[in-house]
Each structure stands twice: as structure tokens, then as C-alpha cells.
Structure 1
């Protein structure tokens, strides 16, 4: 086998999508990625290609890829996110170790450009079923630091939830107020960093999958005090993703999040969706998991964050 490494390119999107599909057959995570999803990921402002991505090829066939993503803040540590996927037929300890070395080299180079002198820490996520990847991370010195939960709601069997707020549907004129509210609401969350207007537009409002008709806000004048933003991702039919749920600290305790999520689920059902999915920090300090359970969500999977300090510790 002749393995070559080169910079990852936007035109690798289809081959990367095929990697994920091959892996999903042997280690199901519940995530199905479309080519458009992968292309949007490759276009992320936080992962500027070519320096932030690498492709590994056997001949002219893509057998693995990896990416690193800078953050918008280092407060006090720059927590860069790294990810990769290797085709199940090509997984070896040697290739896994080489990918981790690439993580460190590429991340360190990008880190020096944005936060020189700040401590650097790499964060990688592995699903319960991604045992090979988790073992590679452990052998590479990564330690488990957090667990996030996948949750799913069957829209045909929703509990009754009394609304305590008057939501308004998202409109483009609320974009900046929504971004500011999201940053404030998530300021205390694990691994969170403020979203710049460019990144917010890329991830949410400018995404092809953004569903403004299923995104709701509560307002105090022109200020957003609570929000639920939804997208469609992957190729799963009849599924909506509740991407962000946030409430400003002074508006908590009034049932705003529960009311907005319940409104989204009812509207999604009326529009023909069969299920809704979301992810939540298992140690979320606001008790978000309990809110989602009251709205009809149940835990269906776990993603484990593994971290390794690279410099400054």
C-alpha cells in the first residue's frame, strides 16, 4: 500500500462523505452526513484550508482525513477542536499515531497565528461506538474530560407542556441580537467560545440547512432573551436538529427554554417531521437535560470529549 499525505481540499467533500458512510455501517453513531454538510464543514472560517486539513490517500483513494479548528477566544486556554475519520479497512495503530502527530503540528502552527503565547489544548470527540478512535486518543495521551448526550424526541408522542412565554419566529432582522444572546447564554458552558458574525452566519443563519420557520425567540424590546435555533442536517428523512437552545441568565427560571422547545416540536410535527434530535452537555450547569426530558426527549447516545494539553501547562 502506497500512502500519501496532502492538503485537504474542498473537492474532497464527496470522498470524505463516503468515509463517514463506511464507518457508520460498522460503528453506528446515528449521524448521517450529506455531501453538502461536509462541504460546509470544509468551508468553516475556523478551519482555513489548506493548513487546517489533511487528506491521506492509498493511490488515488481517500482513506482518511483530519481537520483542526481554531477558536475565537483563549480564555485562558485555546481549546482547539480536532477531528478525523479513517476508513474501517485501513485502521492501524501506526496511522492513528500519525494522525495525532498531524493534529499537534497543524494545530500548533495555526495556534501561533491567532493566540501566540497562550496555552494550547486539543479536544477530540469520540462516540460510544467509536472504540478504535477512542483507543488511539488514549494511547496518545488524551484524557476523558466531558460527556455530551444525544437526545431524540418522537414527535408522534409529545407530552403536554404549558407555555409561559410569547415566542416570535426568527427573522433576519434579529440576526445580530440572536448572535449576541447566544454568546451570552453559552458564556459559562464547557468548551464554549463566542461566535463572530462570520462564524454565526456560516454555522447557522447562512447554512443551507437553517430552518427559520422552526426557530423561535423571546424578546425584550430589540433584545433577544431566549432562543431555539433549528437546522436540517444529513440525509435522514423527517428529522429536525435543535441546534441551539439558550436563555440569558436574568431570564432563567421562567420556563422560557421549555416553552420554546415545546413550540418547536409542535410546529415540526405539523410540518411533517417525525423526530427531533439535539445534543447536550451531560454536566450542563443550567439543568438543560431535565428541560428536554420534560419536552419528550430521551437519551440515545453519548459523545466523549478527550483532551490533551500541548503547550503552556
Structure 2
């Protein structure tokens, strides 16, 4: 359907129906093709779950063969004084910049306030895994505040990764039952100046080992000559893409090539295994890390963000 005909298509606003699932999948495909492909969001599952909770928690602009826009709300566990609500929604790329996004967000806010009860504080939350400039403008103009943003950066392995290596005084080991506690120690030492608290080691290790996408043989730990774990990379798989879940280096060794050499080794390993590309998330407020990843061959593919609005 071309843009000229799309603008004249018949449209009706209504709640979602079970038979809309194929149209939801097509909407998801079109949005990811236009905004950038990612594996975190679940448009189809989230929208259908909201419909099953209550059909009036969903709202869509439907044509005869297409969903032009869809929105839904999800109530999170609440307290006596506060209700948190996730607002989700997408507008088909062919129908953007026509006011549908603003109308959709207005409806979502009204529905969230209604089901939350006006006697409680409402915290409205938007999570967007492929943020566009237009979406950001709509959120901010509607009174939402950006809470955090991360770039998804991707490194193609079509060409050889950097040949940089760790200094000879360090050795590398994989994740095993024996080395997992050392990974945890490196994690805590790397982020002690940035994190307010840490999960217990058993929980941290169990979350990795319970993840079916975790790649222990592609997760690496750098150990110094005095047997101290000083840097780490934990890896997983997202579709056909290798994924760097976390990476860190102790503060004393930042900027000394240890993290760079460790990541270069991880990239070469991913290439040898046969992955076509590697991805990761990095906070937009961490320019030093972004610069390091850029030097390794990573490029920004999209930005994910979270916005919130408190209604008293």
C-alpha cells in the first residue's frame, strides 16, 4: 500500500480482537523494519495480554487489511497510595505524522487514570525499544520525562576484529561452575563506584545460568598475575546475533587497554564461532564507553528509552 492510498484508507477505532493477531504481527514487522530490529519488545504478546485482561485496556485504529495504530495499558503491582501503569503503543510507519500517536497517548493516559482510581498517585511508564525523534517529541509534549536512554550498538563480523590483545601479565578463563564466583567478584569490583547495591552472588550467577540464551563458553574473565579477577565479559545470543550482556573492568585499570583487549578477544571468538554480528547496550551518558565500542567497530543501530509521568 503506497502513502497516497494509505492516507485515504478506511479507519475505525475499537478495542483489539483475538483475530487481530496476524495484523499485530505485520504491524510489529513494519515498525521494526522502519525503526530498527530488536529482540526486547513484544508488541504482539503485550497487546494480546492486555486484551485478555480487559478488552477496554486496548485501543486500535483498524482498516480493512491493516492496523494503523495500537495501544494498550498494563497495570503493575501497586501500593495503597500509588499505581504504576505501563503504556504501550505503536503507529504504523505509513500513518505517522498524522496525529495518531498523540491521540493514542491521550487515550492511554485517560484509561490508565480511570482504572487506577483518582484517589491514588499514578505513575505512568513508557518503554520504547526503538526510539524515534517524533516519539520523543510526543512524549515530552505530553508531560513525560525521560528517565534513561541506551544505545544499541552493533559490530559486524564480516571483517576481522581488532588484533589488540591483553598484556601478557593477564590470562583468560571461561565461565564455569568454578570460575562463576570470580566473574561475580570482577563484576562487583568493576561497578562498586557506580552501583548502590549488588544482588547476592548466588542470585547473580543463577540468573545467568538459568538463561537459555547465555553463552558460558563465550564469556571471558581476565585474571592478573596475582590471581585477581580484573575484567569480564558475559555473553548471550539474540536471534542470530551474539550479545554482550555485561562488561566491566576494575577502576584502577580503566583506560589501560585491559578492557579493550578483552573485548577484542571476545569479538574474535564470536567470529570464529560463526556469528555474523555482535550487539550490546550502552548508556547514552557514558561517552567513554561509547568511544571505546566505536573504536572496536561498533556502530549505533537504535536507541531504547524509558519515560515517566507522575499524576497526583
Deviation at 1:137, TM superposition (A): 3.3
**1:167 paired to 2:168:** no
| Paired residues of 1:229 and 1:243 also in contact (CA < 8 A) | yes
Query: 1:127 is paired with a residue of what secondary structure?
Result: coil
Deviation at 1:253, TM superposition (A): 3.0
Deviation at 1:275, TM superposition (A): 0.6
**1:283 paired to 2:278:** no
**1:153 matched to which residue of 2?**
155
Output the CA distance in 2 between the equivalents of 1:307 and 1:86: 15
| Paired residues of 1:151 and 1:300 also in contact (CA < 8 A) | yes
Q: Gaps (5+ residues) in structure 1?
A: 5-14, 43-53, 71-80, 110-119
Deviation at 1:196, TM superposition (A): 4.3
Q: Gaps (5+ residues) in structure 2?
A: 1-12, 59-69, 78-83, 93-99
Matched length: 264
| Paired residues of 1:17 and 1:33 also in contact (CA < 8 A) | no
Output the CA distance in 2 between the equivalents of 1:31 and 1:16: 20
**1:295 matched to which residue of 2?**
296
Query: 2:259 is paired with a residue of what secondary structure?
Result: helix
- Residues 1:121 and 1:227: Cα distance change in structure 2 (over 3 Å): farther
TM score, norm. by length of structure 2: 0.64
CA RMSD in angstroms, aligned pairs only: 4.7
Deviation at 1:32, TM superposition (A): 3.3
**2:259 matched to which residue of 1?**
257
- Picking from 224, 232, 238, the partner of 1:227 is 232
Output the CA distance in 2 between the equivalents of 1:199 and 1:189: 20
- Residues 1:196 and 1:87: Cα distance change in structure 2 (over 3 Å): farther
Q: In the TM superposition, what are the counterparts of 1:1-313 in structure 2 within 5 Å?
A: 3=15, 22-26=27-31, 27-32=34-39, 55-57=50-52, 84-86=87-89, 88=91, 92-98=104-110, 101=113, 124-125=127-128, 127-129=130-132, 131-132=134-135, 134=136, 137-144=139-146, 146-157=148-159, 158-164=161-167, 165-189=170-194, 194-197=198-201, 200-201=204-205, 203-220=207-224, 223-233=228-238, 235=239, 237=240, 239-284=241-286, 287-308=288-309
Q: Which structure would you say has the larger Rg?
A: 2
- Residues 1:149 and 1:178: Cα distance change in structure 2 (over 3 Å): same
| Paired residues of 1:170 and 1:217 also in contact (CA < 8 A) | yes
Report which stretch shifted further, 174-183 or 194-203: 194-203
Deviation at 1:124, TM superposition (A): 4.1
Output the CA distance in 2 between the equivalents of 1:125 and 1:61: 19
TM score, norm. by length of structure 1: 0.64
- Residues 1:20 and 1:303: Cα distance change in structure 2 (over 3 Å): farther
